Amino acid sequence: MVLGTALGGLLGGCAAPPPPQEQVKGPARDDCLREVRLDALQTALERCDAVVAAYPRDPQPRNERALLQSLAGNRVAACSDSSAAEVLLRQATPGRRGDPQLVEEIRIRAAGCRG
């Protein structure tokens, strides 16, 4: 029994290490609002453009870009992103819509553009 335990420990130590996780190239899904400064909104918008391009079917980056556009005073662009985020949200299956707070935020932002 002791031999079996020792042998099991030795064999377990010889197992191959787990494969390294692949690094995803490009921006992360939540990079839009990372380190935003009001005096550098254009930089944040450019970073967010890259996020939207990397995740074209995800409503979150468009919603975040709508917020940045709104802060920059670009109401038309903000409303365009809000509408696009709402469409993407409707296209998502109910189980894949994500965080309920995000869903509500998208709906409120889009409704503000219509009203």
Model confidence pLDDT, tens digit, residues 73-108: 999 999 999 999 999 998 887 767 678 899 999 999
**Residue whose token pair is 């079917």:** 57
Choosing among 1.10.600, 1.25.40, 3.40.30, 1.10.10, the CATH entry for 27-114 is 1.25.40
Distances in Å between the alpha carbon of 26 and those of 23, 48, 51, 58?
A: 9, 12, 8, 15
Model confidence pLDDT, tens digit, residues 10-21: 444 454 444 444
Model confidence pLDDT, tens digit, residues 29-87: 999 999 999 999 999 999 999 999 999 999 999 999 999 999 999 999 999 999 999 99
Domain spans, the chain: 27-114
